[in-house]
């Protein structure tokens, strides 16, 4: 969660795999995840700027 960032926990990507029996529901989830991905990447980049460590460079 966001509360861990000030304590130095860097946001990282995780991976899990699930089998969804209903093909329509599985496709809806896949579509959502594809649309969500750029927002997650953006959040991770913004959150890294808030880490309590000096920035390189």
Q: Assess if residue 41 is contained within a domain.
A: yes
The total domain count for the chain is: 1
Q: Could you report the per-residue pLDDT of 10-25, keeping only the tens digit for each?
A: 888 888 999 999 999 9
53 vs 24: CA distance, rounded Å: 45
Q: Assess if residue 54 is contained within a domain.
A: no
Q: Which two tokens stand for residue 37?
A: 């991905």
CB atoms within 10 A of CB 6: 10
Structure-token match 């969500």, residue found? 36
Q: Could you report the per-residue pLDDT of 35-55, keeping only the tens digit for each?
A: 999 999 999 999 999 888 877
DSSP single-letter state for residue 49: T
Q: Is the pLDDT of residue 57 over 70?
A: no
pTM more than 0.85: no
Query: Which of these, 13, 14, 24, lies nearest to 47 by C-alpha position?
Result: 13
Q: Are 20 and 26 in contact (CB under 8 A)?
A: yes
Q: Assess if residue 55 is contained within a domain.
A: no
Q: Which domain, by its residues, includes 12? A: 2-48
DSSP single-letter state for residue 53: S
């Amino acid at each position: 969660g966001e509360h861990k960032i000030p304590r130095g926990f860097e946001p990282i990507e995780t991976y899990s795999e699930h089998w969804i029996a209903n093909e329509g529901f599985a496709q809806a989830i896949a579509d959502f995840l594809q649309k969500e991905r750029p927002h997650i990447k953006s959040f991770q980049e913004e959150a890294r700027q808030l880490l309590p460590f000096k920035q390189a460079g």
